Amino acid sequence: MIVGLVVANKGSDPAPAPKPGPEPVDAGYNLYYLDDADVITTKNLVSGVLSFNTSYIDDGKFLEKARKATNKTIAIEPKQIPIGVNNQYIKNVKFEFSQVDYKVTKVMFTDNSTSRFSIPTDVVGAMGANAQMSTNMAGFSYKNKPFGFEFRSTREADVINVDTTNSDFIMTDKFMQLDL
């Protein structure tokens, strides 16, 4: 199985202000959660908008909580990433998982609130979702709070190929970290 991670800045209509987030999660540094009402699911596509969990930022102790919960050192210190006018947290992240063929799932994260440049698909030869395929072919599933996803073997249900549950996930204007 091949998982292609495509990070493209693609614009859309401005999104509403972020919803108040749930309580901070116990593991990983993950600023995003998902409301089922914000998810669109078809046979070959799962898409939606992730909301920003401000409770990490508001109490000022998010790194300390993340380190205690995971008992590990975070590879990139999110607090040391310069956040300012030119590098804001992405508050509404649009995601899309689409099945291209039997072995390729396209994964895309974009800023849902701001229009951004996107490389034209004819230049890079990007593959689109195939109406005959299904995300179940790749064993895809997602979790809500905090947001995470996994790809399981379709032959052996106990085998997990990719799992972002309790992983670090942060997205700013100029930086993205998603641990697999």
The 10s digit of each residue's pLDDT in 16-29 is 555 544 444 444 56
pTM of the model: 0.71
> Exposed, middle or buried: residue 34 (CB in 10 Å: 0-12, 13-18, 19+)?
buried
Reduce the DSSP state of residue 69 to 3 states and report it: helix
What is the domain count for the chain? 1
Query: What pLDDT is recorded for position 151?
Result: 92
Mean pLDDT taken over the chain: 75
- Domain extent at residue 121: 2-178
Report CA dihedral (19, 39, 5, 121) to the nearest 10 degrees: -110
The 10s digit of each residue's pLDDT in 136-170 is 888 999 988 888 899 998 888 889 999 888 777 88
Asked if pLDDT for residue 70 goes beyond 70, the answer is no
Reported confidence tier of residue 57, pLDDT bands at 50, 70, 90: low
